[in-house]
Amino acid sequence: MFRVKKTGMKTRGGRVAVIGALSLASVALAAAPAAAKGGVEITAPHTAPVGKTFTVAAHADDDASDYLRICLENRTGGQAWHQLACGAVAERGTDAKATAHVKAAHRGAQQYRAVVYGLLSPNDRHPVRQRTSGPATVNIR
């Protein structure tokens, strides 16, 4: 009896499987949705004395919208968030900025966060919330 070597068929079958897997992976990557890039950052002091004014600032960028607007919100304790100040509308590719000067009225912890809204035009009356920062806590002493 003679032995027939089958390595030629196995090698060809392996090549076809690898090429098919690579083709499928490239099609899957091309069909995947693009993720929007951007971020939001808020700065506030850790502590502030009662009766003094301190500054809360935020800036953000996001390429998902043509125009952006960033607003600052605050809350005391576990209450609802209230809008404190909003910045000017910024075009895509530039940072949206907002600043608020807050006078510390009484003791306790106050939280602040930044919310980024996407707009279709500079005068859009229906902005869409894009991103929200984590809360920054200011202890009033």
Average pLDDT, the chain: 85
User: Which run of H or E residues covers position 83?
Assistant: strand 82-86
Tell which wins on pLDDT, 110 or 11.
Answer: 110
Mean pLDDT of 97-124: 95
Per-residue pLDDT, 48: 97
**Count of all residues that appear for the chain in the document:** 141
- Return the CATH architecture of domain 38-140: Sandwich (2.60)
The band of 89, judged by pLDDT with boundaries at 50, 70 and 90, is very high
pLDDT exceeds 80 at position 78: yes
Tokens of 51: 């009766």
